[in-house]
Amino acid sequence: MAYILNIETSTTNCSVSLSNKGETLVLKEDYGNGYSHAEKLHVYIEEVLEEAKMTADQLDAIAVSKGPGSYTGLRIGVSAAKGLAYALEKPLVSVSTLEALAHQVKAESGYIIPMLDARRLEVYSAIFDENYNLVRAIEAQVLDENSFEKELALGNVYFVGDGVEKTTKLISHKNAVFVENKLPSADQMSLLSFNKYKKSDIEDVAYFEPYYLKDFVAIKSKK
């Protein structure tokens, strides 16, 4: 058995799943009510375990979405995951947020580009092929009408994530496929966390930090 608790808080979707050998057994998430992670994350963790009729000490590992994404959301998720891993003496597994998001798309050919909104015309994005192999590493990039023109010239390109809305206003290529209303979810983490767990690809609980990609910038209140 390989029971893994998966935690995803990189966007407005507060998401928790319990998986076994890469398959999601129970999923709890809240897609549309803003950043409510501080209130809901631990409730979802308790509900997932209760529904599976398990206790926390029966888990084999804790997995967390490592980013990029919301600074505050990532800190909440990683803090909870590290706390559980330390208290339960279980290994901590980190999963790339964009890789998990890419797995929401099933493509026979072409490219999958998961993207998260990074304000204004900027997104966090990566490029994967149809088999989810990484083609271009994660970047913070400013979009324009020429973005991804090389990939679009070669065939279908599937854009997925909350950065899609701004992309639709800039890119009108015939090969662009916009997969809307999708956010990173702990559901797609199940297989990825299991694969890393099998290889003992784990993090140092004491020193692990989220992958922010950009430094946090505090904005002064206008009040």
pLDDT tens for the chain, residues 1 to 223 = 899 999 999 999 999 999 999 999 999 998 767 778 989 999 999 999 999 999 999 999 999 999 999 999 999 999 999 999 999 999 999 999 999 999 999 999 999 999 999 988 999 999 999 999 999 999 999 999 999 999 999 999 999 999 999 999 999 999 999 999 999 999 999 999 999 999 999 999 999 999 998 654 333 444 4
d(CA 46, CA 103) in angstroms, rounded, equals 26
- The pTM of this model reads 0.93
Q: What is the pLDDT of residue 215?
A: 52
d(CA 122, CA 147) in angstroms, rounded, equals 11
pLDDT tens, residue by residue, 32-67: 677 789 899 999 999 999 999 999 999 999 999 999
- For residue 27, give every residue at least 6 positions away whose Cβ sits within 8 Å of its Cβ, in sequence order, or none: 15, 16, 17, 48, 185, 186, 187
Q: In the 8-state DSSP scheme, what is residue 184?
A: -
Question: 10 Å Cβ neighbour count for 197?
Answer: 20
